[in-house]
Amino acid sequence: MVYRPSSSRTGLGMMLKRSHLLWKSTFIASFIAFMGSIAVVSLIIGVYGMWLVIQTGGQPDLEAMSRFSEAFGQYAGTGGSYLATFLVSFWFARTHRQASRWNLLLIGVWMTAYGLPFLIFYPQPVLLSIRDFFVSLTLYCVLALAGGAVAYKTMAPATLYTNILRALSRVASTNDLNRALGEHRPLPDITHIALWTPDSEESGRAFSLLTTWSVTSTAIPQRLTAADHPTLERVSDGSSVTFRVSQLPLAEQHVWERIGVRGGVLIPIVKEGENASTWYGVLFVGSAHREKMPGRVVRFYESLVPTLSLTLEKLRLMRQVSEAAVLEERQRLAREIHDTLAQDFTSIVTHLEAAESALDTAPDVARAHLDRARRAAREGLREARRVVWALRPDILTRTDLAQALERVAHRWSEETGTPAHVTVTGTPRPLPGDLDVVLLRAAQEALNNVRKHARASRVDITLTYMDDQVILDVQDDGVGFDPASLSDSPGFGPRAMRERVEARGGHVIVESAPGEGTTVVTILPTTTVGKGP
């Protein structure tokens, strides 16, 4: 079915709806601002009147006071309302940062509406022309937008800094780091950003490119060495270096001109230690339009050095964890092949040799051995399929975790004949790092243990999303066992699954008793990123 919006939701009405106009808030703020300006003008007129009374000894010149009230009230009242419009818009923009700029125009409209009675009746009733009305409306709206613009400009550096810190705290890959640096630039003229990491932590002489962002497709140098870039010598002492490309040595000048940079800054990412400094990298920020990078831009990126050092350290640890995870997975696969496929192949060979020996003398015995070999081959085939399926986390690149669990459960049910049901509670969301892979592997391992030991007639899989964690329950109605016996069980089983989950800051709970089924609960926090699956 195709949904077609009604006419009431199109055109201007739909545009205003998307603008998220705060009618009540702007009405109240404008009313207070306007009445405040009137109160200030009235107070000044009253003070002037009291001053006249004091000066004349209690006999004020009423005609002079009337002339002052009319002139001051007309000009100061109008000017005061204009100033009030600017100030209330400035305040509104700072206190409602996410509000649409249409609300600023709405403040201008409200201020115009409040001022109409004074335009018409003060100091004496006049006929207000349409031209005067639109001039007044335009002035109020322009002042409202100006107040908001000043507020946004004063907030911009702090907001940008907050946003980039938030983005850097969520970095889980070099692509995330690249996006965080490119999307939160303090100056539109910045056209190139690159980050190199050192070949060794103790040296600031040679660096390899980690990530780069630019508005063009030109290639940033993959290597940054003091020999090819003499400017790097000045960075090696831990201080930032701002440079104009036109003033660099000729060879280095050609390198930057080739990528279209006219000026930039090299900022060392160094952590000072007790005995020596640890180099995390060098950040380059360049422009194709400016020969000299403004000081505020340099200070902005220098203030990010502590956060960038932590981010790079986190990425380094994640790479180490990923490499260790690959080795661990290879070892796990070797153990699983030994525990399953190798044993099945051994059984097949044994039965075939026995069948061959009994083929002429005892055909019935030979056929029995052939049947056993056939069953062992089928079991080995099922184990081979299971191992191959376990090696396919790319299922998560095509579906989300809930759908992947559905597919795993469906395939497992087809192989075993035991129904497996998946239930999802909470609000599904993308999980940080590879937590979805860890949970998928945990579900596969739990189902494998049900297949081998539980003799269950039903399995229920529940995936629960909570604010700061995600929980996977795999419950069967099988024969159960004593959880204390897990520590003595051979082969790859719940013990290895627990190690994988604990490496990500989570834990596994196994609840079971003989004759009462088994529940395996996997709990993973979603606020930290730890070891890979």
Q: What is the pLDDT of residues 335-364, one digit of tens each?
A: 667 666 777 787 788 888 888 888 888 888
Which DSSP category does 50 fall into?
A: H
* pLDDT of res. 388: 67
Confidence of residue 4 (pLDDT cuts 50, 70, 90): very low
Quick count: other Cβ atoms within 10 Å of Cβ 230?
13
* pLDDT of res. 389: 64
* pLDDT of res. 392: 52
In a 13 Å sphere around the CA of 292, the CA atoms on its Cβ side amount to 4
Whole-angstrom distance, CA of residue 389 vs CA of residue 396? 12
Residue 17 confidence (pLDDT) above 50: no
Return the minimum-mean-pLDDT range out of 47-56, 79-88, 144-153, 246-255.
47-56
**pTM value > 0.85:** no
Confidence of residue 18 (pLDDT cuts 50, 70, 90): very low
Q: What is the pLDDT of residues 214-236, one digit of tens each?
A: 887 777 888 888 888 888 888 86
Q: Which two tokens stand for residue 421?
A: 């049901």
Question: Contact 128/120 with Cβ under 8 angstroms?
Answer: yes
Confidence of residue 3 (pLDDT cuts 50, 70, 90): very low
Of residues 71 and 430, more confidently modeled: 430
Confidence of residue 12 (pLDDT cuts 50, 70, 90): very low
* pLDDT of res. 157: 77
Average pLDDT, the chain: 80
* pLDDT of res. 195: 93
Q: What is the pLDDT of residues 194-214, one digit of tens each?
A: 999 888 644 557 888 999 888
Question: Quick check: helix, strand or coil at residue 472?
Answer: strand
DSSP H or E stretch at residue 463: strand 459-465
Quick count: other Cβ atoms within 10 Å of Cβ 376?
20
Long-range interactions of 503-506: CB distance < 8 A, separation 24+: 503/321, 503/530, 503/531, 503/532, 504/433, 504/435, 504/438, 504/528, 504/529, 504/530, 504/531, 504/533, 505/530, 506/438, 506/469
Whole-angstrom distance, CA of residue 388 vs CA of residue 304? 45
Quick count: other Cβ atoms within 10 Å of Cβ 297?
19
Of residues 275 and 243, more confidently modeled: 243
Go through 352-374 and write b for each residue having 16 or more CB atoms within 10 A of its CB, e for each that does not.
bebbeebeeeeeeebeebbebbe
Residue 126 confidence (pLDDT) above 60: no
* pLDDT of res. 73: 65
Question: Contact 309/271 with Cβ under 8 angstroms?
Answer: yes
Contacts of 156 (CB under 8 A, 6+ apart): none
CA geometry: angle 241, 244, 249, nearest 5 deg: 90
The domain made up of 174-318 has a fold known as: Beta-Lactamase (3.30.450)
Whole-angstrom distance, CA of residue 289 vs CA of residue 159? 25
* pLDDT of res. 406: 92
Go through 77-103 and write b for each residue having 16 or more CB atoms within 10 A of its CB, e for each that does not.
bbebbbbbbbebbbebbeebeebeeeb
Which listed CATH number (3.40.1260.10, 3.30.565.10, 3.40.640.10, 2.60.40.10) goes with 399-533? 3.30.565.10
Q: What is the mean pLDDT of residues 314-328?
A: 82
Quick count: other Cβ atoms within 10 Å of Cβ 334?
12
Confidence of residue 420 (pLDDT cuts 50, 70, 90): very high
Q: Is the peptide bond before 123 cis (omega within 30 degrees of 0)?
A: yes
Q: Taking Cα atoms as reference points, which of 217, 218, 287, 294 lies closest to residue 259? A: 218
Whole-angstrom distance, CA of residue 25 vs CA of residue 35? 16
Q: What is the pLDDT of residues 23-34, one digit of tens each?
A: 888 889 888 888
Confidence of residue 266 (pLDDT cuts 50, 70, 90): very high
Of residues 373 and 125, more confidently modeled: 373
Whole-angstrom distance, CA of residue 238 vs CA of residue 254? 25
Of residues 522 and 9, more confidently modeled: 522
Question: Contact 470/464 with Cβ under 8 angstroms?
Answer: yes
Q: What is the mean pLDDT of residues 401-417?
A: 88
Whole-angstrom distance, CA of residue 421 vs CA of residue 267? 55
Residue 267 confidence (pLDDT) above 70: yes
Q: What is the mean pLDDT of residues 118-132?
A: 61
End-to-end CA distance of the chain: 43
Please report which residue ranges of 203-294 form alpha helices under DSSP H. 231-235, 250-258
Return the minimum-mean-pLDDT range out of 56-60, 105-109, 177-181, 430-434.
56-60
* pLDDT of res. 5: 36
